[in-house]
Amino acid sequence: MEVKTYRAGSLQEALQLVRTDMGPDAAVLQTREVREGLFHWLSGTRRIEVTASCSVNVPSRFPPPLDDTGEFAAAPSSADWTGAACEDGNTEDGPTSVPAHCDTDYRAKFRDDLRDELSDLHSMVEQLSRPPAAPSHGQLGESLFQLFTELIDAEVSEELARDLIDRVQLEAGNEERDDPELMRSRLARLVEADITCGGPIRVVPGQSRLVALVGPTGVGKTTTIAKLAASFHLRERHRVGLITVDTYRIAAVDQLRTYADIIDLPMEVVSTPREMRAAVARMADLDLILMDTAGRSPSDEVRLRELKSMLNEAHADEVHLVLSSVTSAAGMRKAAERFADVGVTSLLLTKLDEATGLGNLLPLLRQSKLPLSYLTNGQNVPDDIAGAERGRLARLVLGMESIN
Ligand SMILES: Nc1nc2c(ncn2[C@@H]2O[C@H](COP(=O)(O)OP(=O)(O)OP(=O)(O)O)[C@@H](O)[C@H]2O)c(=O)[nH]1
Ligand SMILES: [Mg+2]
């Protein structure tokens, strides 16, 4: 008896393979879910395997068509009626009419069978759509399992945590796998390799550099401008000026003016592209111009276009997209996508002190091509800011180091 197995991404595709290879009369003997790929127990691809044969005669479940007289055109064979035979025992071979109640019994049986099959299919689909169970202690071994739970505690998504553990396991030698510290530093290096840092703003005396901060509302743009201004002016003795284009709220102008007064810096308030040109010209002899902008919803395309034309007018050398670490991974991805259009050149992450775990930053850090400039970790001006550094950031997002 010829028996073959076929694998595909879905039951439907697997049955199509059977049909193409063995023809429409092939009988399906078994279906089951299998996993393929390296470390299939962790994240192998789920496939459906169908075992089929052409040599097995499986009775048709469908009644033969009725002819013009309302009788079956060709009598079903005894095999066709297996289990559905009429109580009269009217199962003899050869052309014969089927009594009405036999037909009714058959159809009822057919309906029941169909219901059972639908219910089986339903459970199969449910099972397939369920995420695979988390890897167990026994599957991973002591140190990798510990690492996996640490990633989950750091709010790394389960999918990403599995992927990272897989990669670490793949790279580690057998003797390393029992050493939690070695595995931890291997994991940190892996994540570090995905992070790009651009370093702090490079100010060259006499070469006016214009740096703008943009981003969603309330992420800490103005506070960060104040931290940068104080740091460059008071600590590094550079000549710094401030421009704000956030004229939508009176309080926003007052907020920056307060910082400008305390640090003793010139400040310009700009509301049109023309005013922008004039303000930049007046500050041309400064070493650093920091530009504050109004918070924008990533979905507000009109306001984002306005922001872009202001930045073009200012000829900004650097545009830092400010994102809060307490935003969801999806929210950060959306903001990064939408603000890319305004000409963003780097990422600046704020409020690291407020996040319960920083694993949500990982997808953005891995996917974004933008270099990171600064990290902020509190409301204190000018202290709570530091240049982004790959190794430290990797340990922070993996929960191996605390921000405070
Ligand atoms: N915990 C914490 N709070 C911060 C940090 N940075 C800023 N904040 C606070 O976040 C709040 C909003 O800060 P702003 O600087 O006004 O934010 P913004 O992005 O300028 O806001 P809009 O101009 O309204 O879009 C303030 O209460 C800041 O003190 C930080 O790193 N950590
Ligand atoms: Mg602001």
Write the pLDDT tens digit of every residue in 118-136: 887 877 777 666 655 566 5
DSSP-H helix ranges across 49-202: 100-129, 137-140, 142-153, 158-171, 180-192
Q: Are 384 and 376 in contact (CB under 8 A)?
A: yes
C-beta of 348 in contact with ligand 1 (< 6 A)? no
Question: What's the average model confidence in pLDDT over 109-115?
Answer: 82
Percent of the chain with pLDDT over 70: 82
Question: What's the average model confidence in pLDDT over 215-234?
Answer: 96
C-beta of 351 in contact with ligand 1 (< 6 A)? yes
At residue 84, the pLDDT reads 37
Residue 286 in tokens = 């400064």
Residue 213 in tokens = 């901060």
Round to whole Å and give the CA distance between 297 and 288. Answer: 27
At residue 110, the pLDDT reads 79
Write the pLDDT tens digit of every residue in 138-174: 566 778 888 899 999 999 998 899 999 989 888 887 7
Write the pLDDT tens digit of every residue in 298-324: 889 899 999 999 999 999 999 999 999
C-beta of 353 in contact with ligand 1 (< 6 A)? yes
At residue 132, the pLDDT reads 57
Round to whole Å and give the CA distance between 64 and 167. Answer: 57
Instruction: For ligand 1, pick from 224, 258, 303, 379 the residue to mutate: most ligand atoms within 8 Å of CB.
Output: 379
Q: Per the confidence metrics, is the pTM higher than 0.75?
A: no
- β-strand pairing of 209-214 with 27-36: unpaired
C-beta of 99 in contact with ligand 1 (< 6 A)? no
Q: How many CA atoms lie within 13 A of 197 on its CB side?
A: 18
Q: Which ligand is nearest to the CA of 386?
A: 1
Instruction: Output the CA 85–ligand 1 centroid distance in Å.
Output: 78
Q: To which residue do tokens 């005894």 refer? A: 78
At residue 74, the pLDDT reads 44
Instruction: Output the CA 278–ligand 2 centroid distance in Å.
Output: 22
**Which residue type, as a one-letter code, is found at position 342?**
V
At residue 270, the pLDDT reads 95
What is the band of 198 on the pLDDT scale with cuts at 50, 70, 90?
very high
- The number of beta carbons lying within 10 Å of the beta carbon of residue 56 is 14
Write the pLDDT tens digit of every residue in 328-378: 999 999 999 999 999 999 999 999 999 989 999 999 998 898 999 999 999
What is the band of 93 on the pLDDT scale with cuts at 50, 70, 90?
very low
At residue 69, the pLDDT reads 52
C-beta of 227 in contact with ligand 1 (< 6 A)? no
- β-strand pairing of 318-324 with 209-214: parallel
Task: Tell me the three state secondary structure of residue 217.
Answer: coil
> DSSP state, 361?
G
C-beta of 295 in contact with ligand 1 (< 6 A)? yes
At residue 213, the pLDDT reads 98
Question: What's the average model confidence in pLDDT over 31-46?
Answer: 66
**Nearest of 287, 263, 295 to residue 382 by alpha carbon:** 263
> DSSP state, 72?
B
Instruction: For ligand 1, pick from 221, 223, 297, 323 the residue to mutate: most ligand atoms within 8 Å of CB.
Output: 223
Residue partners of 30: CB distance under 8 A and separation at least 6: 50, 51
At residue 14, the pLDDT reads 87
Instruction: Output the CA 261–ligand 2 centroid distance in Å.
Output: 16
At residue 129, the pLDDT reads 65
Q: Are 350 and 325 in contact (CB under 8 A)?
A: yes
Residue 44 has pLDDT above 80, yes or no: no
C-beta of 354 in contact with ligand 1 (< 6 A)? yes
Instruction: Output the CA 358–ligand 1 centroid distance in Å.
Output: 18
Instruction: Output the CA 278–ligand 1 centroid distance in Å.
Output: 29
Does the CA dihedral 23-24-25-30 come out positive or negative? positive
Distance of CA 61 to the CA centre of its chain: 45
- The separation between the first and the last C-alpha atoms of the chain, rounded to the nearest angstrom, is 70
C-beta of 221 in contact with ligand 1 (< 6 A)? yes
What is the band of 61 on the pLDDT scale with cuts at 50, 70, 90?
very low
C-beta of 383 in contact with ligand 1 (< 6 A)? no
Residue 174 in tokens = 């057998």
**Nearest of 31, 61, 63 to residue 48 by alpha carbon:** 31
Round to whole Å and give the CA distance between 24 and 356. Answer: 58
Residue 116 in tokens = 């059972």
Instruction: Output the CA 88–ligand 1 centroid distance in Å.
Output: 85
Q: Which ligand is nearest to the CA of 385?
A: 1
Write the pLDDT tens digit of every residue in 252-289: 899 999 999 999 999 999 999 999 999 999 999 999 99
Residue 226 has pLDDT above 80, yes or no: yes
Round to whole Å and give the CA distance between 288 and 276. Answer: 16
Closest Cα to atom 17 of ligand 1: 220
Closest Cα to atom 29 of ligand 1: 379
- CA angle 144/146/150 to nearest 5° reads 115
- Closest ligand 1 atom to the C-alpha of 385? 31
> DSSP state, 402?
-
Does the CA dihedral 68-73-75-77 come out positive or negative? negative
Q: Are 339 and 307 in contact (CB under 8 A)?
A: no
At residue 176, the pLDDT reads 77
| Helix, strand counts (H, E) of the chain | 14, 11
Round to whole Å and give the CA distance between 89 and 76. Answer: 13
Q: To which residue do tokens 């603000």 refer? A: 339
- Closest ligand 1 atom to the C-alpha of 384? 31
Q: To which residue do tokens 């202690």 refer? A: 137
What is each CA distance from 64 to 19, 27, 91, 216, in whole angstroms? 21, 19, 14, 67
**Which residue type, as a one-letter code, is found at position 160?**
L
